[in-house]
Structure 1
């Protein structure tokens, strides 16, 4: 009986040993193969990803984008990082990094002991390579399975990359709080510092202390804890001979001051916030490069624009003044959009796509959706007539009720003067002479003229009603500003654009705008039009657009509501398009959807007044 029990015990020990060996072998196979499979199936994870940055005309940062998979990041090569910064992270996170194969067995042993004591597997013991594995491929879940997977990926990373490559990836992918990934993004966010070599010791220690608790040790969310953590890091650095005692004590005492307003990333900018303009910049970049918008945001590009901060601020301040929008209803507010273009080179200086723009929302400044009314007359009627050489501002035009087949235009108020000069007809925005002039010049010639100004019209617009702004598809403020900019620029055309230049993460130029300044209409036509449009502002319908510091040339535009139950004094679209010696601008006001309850009671003078206010503030 005793012999049988001994034999039975031996068999059990053998069985258990076999099971242990099998499990061990299976575990080894899993650790070896899992990490390799993860790396093989996710090659895009280790690509160099950086947030694309947009800058204004002065080179100041407007915004930087979240990457597709993370928050804000800016990749930096290891040689672009100061040695003290690198050593601070090694001293803090993994001092034996260059001596192990991805797993710090001393650290793991210490962590396992703590795990057994607490029975919750809460201790990490993670090397830098393990942290990189977790940051790239896993979540923050604290489980045994996740830990094993982390170790497997870490071993595979060590096989595929050398130590410097791993350290560079770690320092670029580590989460640093406030949606910042990597030391360079964090240095910019917390200190407004683009050059890592300019970091001071206390800043380096602050950054090195963040990974242990990104939400509590970053200096923005908890300044006191951040300072205490900085002190711990400085002590470690001193103990390892990286800094002297005097340097340690001095760096401990520095108080944190956030970067100046407008310098930080994460969308935490003071006004102006450029929402409409930024959307338009990305759309333009996608059109120019053939890249998807989401790709561009993570491409690490720097997009240089001609946007002017003062002009944008002036526009946003003016749009926030509710007293300008007296036609607001309780259930719906009046909308507005505006764009300013530099007629000398076509650069967009400022843009608002609505009163309360949201990222990805409707950008009314670039959407071809609105009837321009009488603001279209210089483009389609008076401009072509002047260009033909048959008419001048002094030419007398009939101001009579005339039928053109089934089409019979009428003057506002039913008043007819018999005949008026071209200049007076434009100044008073009289309808009948404009239609007659378009008939004399010819629709084909008028379409060609508009095309030279950047407005392409379709076959459905081959009718005389276009003389009064009855455009089938509608026109955007951007296109109206671009068209008027030709008059302002002595007959020379420049494509309205936001982007000056795009450079990649290595500083190489991907795209650069080529200046045009192409003569598309006679300078005599442009000068005559400017003279007439100045009369419109000084003596006619655009009087509210006047400025004390510069002469304004421009034209109002109004389209009637044309809704059952709404009288002829109800309007749909209010416009003013005009220019100074410096800039050209277009303003539109109205409801997104006009009906019997939502229409404009005010006139185009409101749009002219908005033009004047913005241009005045932009010049201050």
Structure 2
């Protein structure tokens, strides 16, 4: 039986009959194809991500910069016009609006000022590109480890971007815009230029923008003359300008300055010993005046009409800081001591030069921080017997003389019977004695000699007292209304030969650095020199032997003045004339209560006259002794 042949395997077949093997490349291709396709897919994905990511980034950037301010405008118009008030010696006493000093160059500043700023605000300023990843990471770690936000990662450039271009709003978008602007600033300016812009634009409290303005406000010097600890104080202010203000929080400002000095030692700019010595030397000067705000408010009243435009104004005033300090101290001492025991809650004092009208001191109340109401210029009160000099002057202009006699007995006019207090009638006395002892019944008769209420009202208005005044005989007792400043100015002609000055507070002005006129002082003749001299002698008799005896300082040159007391002791006045080196001074004093509550037997010849004397005695002391007191 025949056998069936088994098929031969491919290996057993003859080579000629076996199919040819594919090339090596063909054998590898099937294995590589999936990998290539996968790589291609990743490459395509990467390209798409880059394209769409770029578009997204561009869109995000467009959204961020869409409402950013124009950089050219922001760099040139980040200032509002401000007003700086200087005392007579140049010390800054008040500011309004934004205060800007001189533009300072980095090369002109003491080296420790920029060093202090960089040590406490941005030590890597010269190494980063506007954003500081290292600083951000460090701040994030510190905040995470402490569990609270104690550090920020913003660079000096970012702070500058925020201050120049953006609002204080706290949001991611605003922070992103800040980063964009910081990068632009770094591209646009050099590091020195950025630091210079920052030093000239940063807000440092008290309305001061830039280190030069702050140096003048806080220390009374330009930034080029700052010492080490003063620079440390200014460098510490950007963190919290209001809370660290050396005027209002000197202890907090000194503590922050010590931190800045320590940071300067850490950066190697100072040794530890130098930092410690500088911290020990910190001595923040006191404010020039606690209560000069009333004077400042009055001095800049109606400023827009006097200085039209939008320029930065620097106004030199007539305020004498030593006289102001004496007035404030003596008024507070009286109100806190004998005034408190007598029910006196408020007081006002003004000191004016008789010949020029320049106001040298003004205290419009007890504490400006509690009440800005100015009792020197805004309160209209009855002057009482302090008005009588104008009644007697009207009689003199009608032909009477100080030595003429007038009856001092009781008088009745339509049922009105003015009293004389403790005065005992002598029948007749001279006009001089009637004024010296403030005899009411005699003053009513003198009013009639002067032409009555209408004539005296006309004379008072000629002397700058607008009223209103009553149209009856009670005017002789001072029942009209006056302000303390108007009454002080009205007394000035009795000291300067009959010329009425206009009260003034400004002596010089600069607008954007250029001198501008402030107006010439006006002097209006309101009576003859002879009658003014006669009235001055009559007022000297008031102090020498009348109701104002308490006003005369022992051993001093004779002073003149007049007391005034209103019904039920609601107001007590003393207006005095005193010699001074620069000419006669008129010092006006009012004591009372804002709600017209009666005081306890406080008359013009008691506490007001004593305050007048205390002010003169303190001013007579050498300046060093006054400061020590």
Contact 2:339 2:345 in 1 (8 A): yes
Q: Please, which of 59, 62, 69 is the counterpart of residue 36 of structure 1? A: 69
Aligned to 1:317: 329
Structure 1 position 345 matched with structure 2 position 356: yes
Aligned to 2:559: 552
Contact 1:176 1:218 in 2 (8 A): no
- Report deviation, 1:140: 7.0
Describe the SS at the equivalent of 2:402.
coil
Aligned to 2:222: 195
Aligned to 1:240: none
Aligned to 2:4: none
Aligned to 1:575: 573
Contact 1:546 1:552 in 2 (8 A): yes
Aligned to 1:225: 259
- Report deviation, 1:252: 5.8
Aligned to 1:364: 375
Distance 2:237 2:88 in 1: 34
Normalising to structure 2: TM-score of the pair?
0.75
Aligned to 1:594: 596
- Report deviation, 1:601: 2.6
Aligned to 1:47: 79
Deviations along 1:307-338, whole A, 9 cap, x unmatched? Answer: 23332233222223333215455xxx532211
Q: Please, which of 104, 107, 114 is the counterpart of residue 129 of structure 2? A: 104
> Do the aligned partners of residues 394 and 504 (structure 1) sit closer, same or farther apart at CA in structure 2, a change above 3 Å counting?
same
Q: CA RMSD in A?
A: 4.5
Deviations along 1:169-190, whole A, 9 cap, x unmatched? Answer: 3112335689965322454577
Distance 1:116 1:398 in 2: 92
Contact 1:304 1:500 in 2 (8 A): yes
- Report deviation, 1:112: 6.8
Q: How does 1:112-127 map to 2 (within 5 A)?
A: none
Structure 1 position 282 matched with structure 2 position 297: yes
> Do the aligned partners of residues 206 and 318 (structure 1) sit closer, same or farther apart at CA in structure 2, a change above 3 Å counting?
closer
Q: How does 1:332-481 map to 2 (within 5 A)?
A: 333-358=344-369, 361-379=372-390, 381-388=391-398, 390-404=399-413, 409-412=418-421, 416-442=425-451, 443-458=453-468, 461-471=470-480, 474-481=481-488
Alignment length, in residue pairs?
A: 565
Deviations along 1:345-398, whole A, 9 cap, x unmatched? Answer: 21222222223332652221222321110110102x11122233x111011223
Describe the SS at the equivalent of 2:68.
helix
Distance 1:395 1:457 in 2: 29
Deviations along 1:426-483, whole A, 9 cap, x unmatched? Answer: 122112232222233234432332233221234x533332111001xx2222222111
Q: How does 1:44-123 map to 2 (within 5 A)?
A: 46-47=78-79, 52-59=83-90, 61=91, 63-65=93-95, 67=97, 74=101, 76-78=103-105, 81-82=108-109, 84=111, 88=115, 104=129, 107-108=131-132, 110=134
Distance 1:26 1:122 in 2: 34
Contact 1:347 1:497 in 2 (8 A): yes
Contact 1:104 1:126 in 2 (8 A): no
Contact 1:530 1:553 in 2 (8 A): yes
* Larger-Rg structure: 2
Normalising to structure 1: TM-score of the pair?
0.76
- Report deviation, 1:78: 3.1
Of residues 510-519 and 121-130 in structure 1, the stretch that sits farther from structure 2 once superposed is 121-130
Distance 1:81 1:396 in 2: 75
Of residues 488-497 and 74-83 in structure 1, the stretch that sits farther from structure 2 once superposed is 74-83
Describe the SS at the equivalent of 1:130.
helix
Deviations along 1:52-110, whole A, 9 cap, x unmatched? Answer: 44333333x25343756xxx7645343784384687489767899899xxx916x5454
> Do the aligned partners of residues 80 and 306 (structure 1) sit closer, same or farther apart at CA in structure 2, a change above 3 Å counting?
farther
Deviations along 1:520-575, whole A, 9 cap, x unmatched? Answer: 211111111111111111111111111221211111111112xxxxxxxxx21111
Aligned to 1:584: 586
> Do the aligned partners of residues 434 and 161 (structure 1) sit closer, same or farther apart at CA in structure 2, a change above 3 Å counting?
farther
Structure 1 position 255 matched with structure 2 position 278: yes
Contact 2:110 2:226 in 1 (8 A): no
Structure 1: unaligned runs, 5 residues or longer:
236-246, 263-267, 562-570
Distance 1:154 1:291 in 2: 42
> Do the aligned partners of residues 138 and 454 (structure 1) sit closer, same or farther apart at CA in structure 2, a change above 3 Å counting?
same
Describe the SS at the equivalent of 1:500.
strand
Structure 2: unaligned runs, 5 residues or longer:
1-33, 245-250, 622-629
Aligned to 2:609: 608
